[in-house]
Amino acid sequence: MTNEFHSEIEKTMQFTKIGIALKDWPSLSESQRLEIFNSLSEEEASDFFDSLDSNYQADLFEQFDRDLKRRWANDLAYDDLADILQLLEPEQVEETLSLLAKHARIEVMALMAYAEDVAGGLMNSNYIRLRANMYVEEAIRYIRTQTLSNVETIYYTYVIDATQKLLGVVSLRELFGARDGQKVSDLMTSGDDLIAIPDNMDQEEIGRVFSRFEQVVLPVIDDEFRMKGIITIDDIIKAVEEETTEDMQKIAAVESLDAPYLEVGFFEMTKKRLGWLVILFIGQMLTATAMTHFEAAIAHTVALVTFIPLIISSGGNSGAQASTLVIRALALGEVKNSDSLRVFFRELGSGLFMGFILGIFGFMRIYFWPHANEAYGVNFAQISLIVGCSIICIVMWGTLVGSMLPFLLKKLRFDPATASTPFVATICDVTGIIIYFSIAHALL
C-alpha cells in the first residue's frame, strides 16, 4: 500500500473521530473504501456507516464477507437494511435475508414491499408496544427490558389492542410523571389528538406533517388503523433531502440522478443531461423560425435587432422567478391546484407592475441616449416606445407562463419541478420574439 493511501486512512480516522464525513470518499476505489472502513473501530464504523448515503452503504455492504454481512444485517435497523437491500442484486438480497432470524426476515421483507418514497418504505417496525390496561409500573419495567433490543426509540410508546390497532401514544416523560396505580389508558393521547401517518403517504407530505405538528417521531398505520411501524425525524430529513435534490435537478432541466454525482458514469450523466438540451435546442430553433416572419420589420429598422437579447431575457428571467416560487410553494403545500386562479391574478398584477418599471427603464435607455437619432435612426422615438411596450407585455407574459405551468403539470399528474427554468425561458424566448415584432409591426 502506498504512503498516500496510508495517509488517506489516517485522515479518514481523524474525520470520523470528529464526526465529519470524509469528503474524498466518492473519489476512492471500492477496495480503498473497504480497507479504510475495516480500519475503524466498531463504534467509529457504526457512526461512519450511518452518515453515508444509502448508495455508498450498499457498495460497502456488497464487499463484506459472509460473517461481516451477518453482523451488519442483524445490527442495522430494519428500515435501513431494507433501503440497502433494494439497491443490491437479487442474489445478494437472497444471501443477506438468509442470514437473518425468521422474525427479522419477515419484517425486512414487509418493508421492502413498499416503495422507498412512501411511509411504509421509510418506517421502522421496531417500536415499543404497550397494552391499555397495563399499570404504569408494569409499563416502565417492560420498557426497561426493551432497551436491550434493537428498538428505534424508547421516548414514545404505542398502545395497541389484540388486533394491532393503534389506540394511543404515551411518552416516557408521562409514564415517569404518573402517580402509582395509574393505567396506561389514563395517560395516553388518543382520539382526535392522535397524529398518525398512512403507510402509503408520500415522503414530501410526511415532511410537511412533521413540520406542521413539530414532532420527532410518528406512528404509521394502514387503512384499518393497524399499527405498522414508526418514522423518526432523522428518517424523514434524509428523505426530504433526497426529494429536494431531485427537484433541484429537474428545475435545472436534468433528469434526476440515481446516485451521487461522482458515482454516475460519464455516458449516463451525458444521457441524463443531453435529452433536455436537445428539446430546449429545438425549442430555441423556433426563435429563428419566428424571426423569419418579421423580415420586413427588421429590414425597415435594423436597430430592432439590437434589443432582442434585452427583450427575451426579460421574459425568461421573470418566468424563471415565477416558476421557482410556485414550484417551491407547491412542494411545501403553501398553495394547491385550487389556488391557481388566485395565483394567476396575483402574478398578473406583479408581472404588469414589474414590466411597467422595466419598460420605463427600456424606454428611457433609448429615448434619452446621447445622439439617439444617429445610433438608432430617425425612428428612435418609435423604437423606444416599441421596446418599452414589449418589455411590459413580455415580462407580464413570462410571469404568467412561469406561474401557471407548474399547476398545469401537476393537474396532468407530472412533477411540477419539470417546469424547469430553462424550459420556461425557452417558451418565453420564442413567444417574446413574436410579441416584440408584432408590436414593432403595428407601431412602425
**How confident is the model over 119-128, as pLDDT tens digits?**
888 888 888 9
Whether the per-residue pLDDT at 94 is higher than 60: the answer is yes
The residue that leads in pLDDT, 236 or 249, is 236
pLDDT of residue 345: 95
Position 21 scores a pLDDT of 45
| pLDDT at position 168 | 94
Q: Do domains 3-115 and 129-241 have the same CATH topology?
A: no
* Model pTM score: 0.61
Residue 3 has pLDDT above 60, yes or no: no
φ, ψ of residue 100 in degrees (nearest 5): -95, 155
What would the DSSP string read from start to end of 191-247? GGG---EETT-BHHHHHHHHHHHT-SEEEEE-TT-BEEEEEEHHHHHHHHHHHHHHH
Question: Is pLDDT of 208 > 90?
Answer: no
DSSP assignment of 114-170 equals S-TTBHHHH-BS---EE-TT-BHHHHHHHHHHHTTTT-S-SSEEEEE-TT-BEEEEE
Question: Mean per-residue pLDDT for 321-325?
Answer: 89
Cell 420564442 belongs to 430
Average pLDDT over residues 244-249: 76
Nearest to 389 by CA among 428, 436, 354: 436
Region 305-331: mean pLDDT is 87
Domain boundaries, the chain: 3-115, 129-241, 261-443
- Cβ neighbors of 422 (< 8 A, separation 6 or more) are 252, 253, 276, 280
Q: How far apart are CA 271 and CA 444, in angstroms?
A: 46
Give the pLDDT band of residue 313 (cuts 50, 70, 90).
confident
Share of the chain above pLDDT 90, in %: 25
Label residue 333 by pLDDT band (50, 70, 90): confident
Q: What is the mean pLDDT of the chain?
A: 83
Confidence of residue 393 (pLDDT cuts 50, 70, 90): very high
Using CA atoms in the order 239, 242, 246, 249, what is the torsion angle rounded to 10 degrees? Answer: 160
Fold of 129-241: CBS-domain (3.10.580)
Q: For residue 192, give Cα distances in angstroms to 131, 168, 220, 247.
A: 19, 10, 16, 34
**CB–CB of 263/55 below 8 Å?**
yes
Q: What per-residue confidence (pLDDT) applies to 397?
A: 95
The three cell numbers of residue 23 are: 469528503
Residue 125: closest CA among 77, 168, 87: 77
Residue 168: phi and psi, rounded to 5, are 180, 175
Q: List alpha helices for 39-101, DSSP H.
A: 42-51, 54-63, 66-75, 78-85, 90-98
Report pLDDT digits (tens) over 252-302. Answer: 767 777 666 767 777 777 887 787 778 778 877 777 777 777 776 666 667
For 5-64, write each residue's pLDDT tens digit.
445 445 444 444 434 445 667 777 778 888 888 888 888 888 888 778 777 888 888 888
- The predicted-structure confidence for 355-387, as pLDDT tens digits, reads as follows 999 999 999 988 888 877 777 777 788 889 999
44 vs 399, higher pLDDT: 399
Superfamily of domain covering 261-443: SLC41 divalent cation transporters, integral membrane domain (1.10.357.20)
CATH number, domain 3-115: 1.25.60.10
In tens, the pLDDT along 111-167 reads 888 887 788 888 888 889 999 999 999 999 988 888 777 677 888 999 999 899 999
Does residue 419 carry a pLDDT above 80?
no
List the 129-130 sheet strands across, edge first.
129-130, 156-160, 166-171
- In the structure, how many helices (H) and strands (E) does the chain have? 22, 6
